[in-house]
Amino acid sequence: MMQFRHSLVSFWVCALVVLTVGIGYYPKWNKEWTEATLSWDVSGYYLYLPALFIYKDIKQVGFREEIHEKYRPSDAPNQAFKHRSGNYVMKYACGLAVQYLPFFGIAHALAPALGYPADGFSRPYQMAIGLGSLLVALLGLWLLRRNLLQYFGDRAVAITLLLLVLG
């Protein structure tokens, strides 16, 4: 007879809550300007991707002003600073850009087909990064569940997951 796994049910309840809130209640890709998915710090971490793959301009980041005028991801285009060499240095580390890369690639392939500009900040990019981030969060929750089950009982893990997401 198969044993009932409380932590598995707990995971799916948490996943449902995360997806409902992220997609249904507060979909940031429907927002504009500084409320969009790619705004404030997120736009700084993400800036590597359009700089490298669309504009091919990682040194001067010359597209910043145009993107800032069109999408207003922050109050000023300050995600990169001018170095004394004349090149720009990104203010943020590139780790999250690596995480965003597969979702950026999907959005970049779909944007023209969907009638959006392939500029790195249009609606497909906003949606892909938002949904991709939810997917990564759920993957992290799944891996946390799996690791906790090695050390704790199923009910304790179930309660922990619920408290982490709902608390």
What would the pLDDT profile of 12-46 be if each residue is shown by its tens digit? 999 999 999 998 877 777 777 778 899 999 999 99
Residue 117 lies in a domain: yes
Q: Which residues of the chain have pLDDT under 70?
A: 1-2
CB neighbour list of residue 11: distance below 8 Å, 6 or more residues apart: 141, 142, 145, 161
Residue 27 lies in a domain: no
Residue 108 lies in a domain: yes
Residue 20 lies in a domain: no
Q: What is the DSSP string of 116-142?
A: ---SSSSHHHHHHHHHHHHHHHHHHHH
How many structural domains compose the chain?
A: 1
What is the number of other CB atoms lying within 10 angstroms of the CB of residue 119?
17
- Joined together, the tokens standing for residue 90 give 């990104």
Residue 22 lies in a domain: no
Residue 138 lies in a domain: yes
Predicted confidence at residue 77, as pLDDT, reads 85
| Residue numbers of the domain that contains 42 | 6-14+32-161
Residue 26 lies in a domain: no
Predicted confidence at residue 2, as pLDDT, reads 60
Predicted confidence at residue 26, as pLDDT, reads 75
3-state secondary structure of 26: coil
- Round to whole Å and give the CA distance between 117 and 124: 9
Residue 137 lies in a domain: yes
